[in-house]
A and B are shown apart, each in its own frame.
Chain A
Amino acid sequence: MNAVPVKSGAGVTGTVTPVPADLLPHRLVLALMKRALLILIPIALAVLAGIYLLAGRGGDRIVVGGKKFTEGYIMSAMVTAVLRDHGYEVEEKIDMGSGVVREAQVNGQIDLYWEYTGTAYVMHHNMSDPAVIADPQRVYDAVQRMDGPLGLVWLEPAPFNNTYTLLMTREKAEAWSIRSVSDLAARVKAHPDGVTLASNAEWFARPDGFQGLGAAYGFQFPLDKVVKMDSGLIYRALREGEVDVGMGYSTDARIVALDLLGLRDDKAFFPTYNPALVMRRVVLERHPELPGLLNPIARRLDMDTITRLNYQVDIEKRSRDEVARTWLSEQGLL
């Protein structure tokens, strides 16, 4: 390999050996890439133009939003399937967290998505009346009323209640004789250094989450005993014994699959979370037939059903769309 003379920026002359050939990307690949780019760039421009033109026909397009966990995905898949089956053009925006998807809807970027009554009451409207929170009908009426001025309408709620739950492995719960959150509070008071809790970022920061738990149950969970992490990994962390208690969602299939126990919320602290489709009023006015089309989905979603569907996706590893469509056909909705 011959040395090549070079000058560096400081004006110093030296020589540098070219990079050995087997460590360079193959020259042929480079040439191919250049040729491919010449063809791909006009194609990309054409595709972009096409998308722009097609997307411009916003009139009949319905934007379905959703939250980024299994249950959220399954339920938005159901709505998308039913809508498309009836000839509507649907655009999906389904990878968002609670705060973002709500804001997107208020801004008009999302037309409808499944929201939980408790979430809207506590998070979006900053309310905290415990009498309302514990009553499914009252909390639904409250959010329907408060969202009216925002141009949003709540469709029929589903009967299931996907509330937060504190989980432990069955073995540890038995070893420590813990069956309710009050039992846990007692344990933490007796052994402040002996209990670790896993939470995700969102639940930790929420007033209907960690921030309100202590006040409701009369105990202080030591902050240095709280591990914050991605919610999906909490179930496994519990199973591995990495943490003693973890926050989870009551309809999550992994509770069953990993033999975890949900502690009884004996002081009814965790709000009611019934899901319902929230729709922008302008969309409802444009398509008044939609509630008739979509309410039957909500009506049939009870605790057993949703847990079973979650199980099919999370544990049996079936596709979310397939599980949604199969259930819809079985129910005669597709």
Chain B
Amino acid sequence: MMLRRRAWTIGLAVLPAALVWRAGWLDFLFGHPGEVLRLFGQHLVLVASSGAMAIALGLGLGIAVSRPRLRPLAAPVLALAGLGQTVPSLALLALLFALIGRIGFLPAFLALTLTALLPVVRNTCLGLLTLDPAMLDAGRGMGMRGRQILWRLELPNALGVIFAGIRTALVVDVSAAALAFLIGAGGLGDLIFTGIDTQNTPILVAGVLPTTALALALDAALARMQRRLAPGGSPRIG
């Protein structure tokens, strides 16, 4: 059964792939693998660094505002983190350049971190706040204290939702990182914008395909991690 579905998937993908290949659209990708790889590496560094920062900050903030004492800050923090997604990534990059006057990695890193921040904060916070209170009561009844409840009860149970947030954040990050080129931070955006500006589709494709592949690969890898660490699946929020 699974084999037949997989055969269909592969079969349906063959036709467009053949057309793309025939049109010569893959020429630049296969003709300049070193160049594409170099830019892919830059893109990866941007995503990995800003993604890691967004995850670390997002988890920290999400956990913090789910605690009873800081709970009233949850709404404003979520709103602020939301800025990263409501302000278009392009504007964010340009703003950061205008703010710090530097081009290259630093402003791109900051802008991308902000962009990827919201999904992590929001899912962490809501994931923790929508846990079964009965379960938490049981934990307290068993004599667990605050920090133990967090680490042994709350986080493991909210892991599915948190993972979903991280996956969203990283996919958005990969796509926004294509714009980092505009402030001199390199990445696959180089090929995308060159392809657009010179009306050269093979170059454009050479930028788009690795970007897409990266996003899909990250999502798949995290999905696998999620299945191992949070086997219960993500419960629906609300």
Query: Which A residues are closer than 8 A to B by beta carbons?
Result: 1, 3, 6, 8-10, 12, 14-20, 22-24, 97-100, 102-103, 198, 200-202, 204-206, 227-230, 233, 236-237, 240, 242-243
Contacts and interface: CB of A to CB of B under 8 A. Distances in A.
Given A12-B233, A24-B238, A201 B190 contact: yes
B174 to A, nearest CB: 20
Contacts of B182: 229-230, 233
A184 B238 CA distance: 64
B9 interface: no
Contacts of A15: 132, 134
B236 A201 contact: no
Contacts of B102: 240, 242
Nearest to B179: A230
Contact of A201 (B193, B235, B238): B193
A14 B237 contact: no
A9 B233 contact: yes
State the 9 A-B residue pairs at the shortest beta-carbon distance, nearest first.
A99-B199, A229-B184, A19-B238, A202-B197, A230-B182, A201-B194, A201-B193, A15-B132, A240-B101
A200 B197 CA distance: 10
B233 A10 contact: yes
Given A19-B238, A103-B199, A205-B197, A8 B232 contact: yes
Nearest to B102: A242
Nearest to B192: A201
Contact of A14 (B94, B197, B235): B235
Given A206-B198, A233-B182, A237-B103, A19 B126 contact: yes
Given A8-B232, A228-B186, 20 more contacts: A1-B133, A3-B132, A10-B232, A15-B132, A16-B130, A16-B132, A16-B235, A17-B130, A18-B238, A20-B129, A24-B238, A99-B198, A103-B199, A200-B197, A205-B200, A227-B184, A228-B190, A230-B183, A233-B183, A237-B103
A17 B104 contact: no
A23 B194 contact: no
Interface residues of B, number: 37
B121 to A, nearest CB: 12
A205 B198 contact: yes
B186 to A, nearest CB: 7
B199 A23 contact: no
Contacts of A6: 235-236
A197 B234 CA distance: 50
Contacts of B132: 3, 14-17
Contacts of B190: 201, 228
B183 A17 contact: no
Contacts of B150: none
Given A9-B233, A17-B130, A100 B199 contact: yes
A45 B207 CA distance: 37
B164 interface: no
